[in-house]
């Protein structure tokens, strides 16, 4: 799970740029998008997205491929100034929970 804290008022612009340029690249390379959300209550100006991987090695391989992609680097150059903070958490599903199909 990754959480981005955005500059005040930047959520709409972030989603526009991501929808136009970032989403297709990440779905092609990272594969299994579980969810992408804006925070409405609590800590505001945050975007949270979840990607599923079979293991940490797959995650590392896919993320290395992402950062080697020229289209992704061009997208990051456009959107990077909107992100003020980034946090990662690795989540493990409970034994009774099946990870949803890719979004």
Tens digit of each residue's pLDDT (9 = 90 or more) over 16-28? 999 999 999 999 9
Question: Is a pLDDT exceeding 90 seen at residue 103?
Answer: no
pTM: predicted TM-score of the whole model, two decimal places: 0.89
* CB burial readout 15-47, b (16+ within 10 A) else e: bebbeebbbebbeebbebbeebeeeeeeeebbb
Cα-to-chain-centroid distance, residue 70: 17
* DSSP state string for 40-53: -SSS-SEEEEEEE-
Angle between helices 56-67 and 70-79 (to 10 degrees): 80
* pLDDT tens per residue, range 28-50: 999 999 999 999 999 899 999 99
């Amino acid at each position: 799970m990754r959480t981005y804290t955005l500059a005040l008022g930047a959520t709409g612009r972030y989603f526009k740029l991501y929808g136009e340029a970032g989403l297709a690249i990440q779905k092609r390379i990272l594969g299994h998008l579980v969810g992408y959300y804006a925070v409405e209550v609590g800590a505001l100006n945050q975007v949270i997205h979840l990607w599923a991987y079979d293991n940490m090695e797959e995650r590392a391989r896919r993320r290395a491929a992402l950062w080697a992609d020229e289209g992704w680097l061009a997208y990051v150059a456009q959107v990077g100034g909107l992100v003020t903070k980034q946090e990662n958490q690795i989540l493990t599903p409970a034994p009774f929970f099946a990870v949803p199909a890719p979004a």
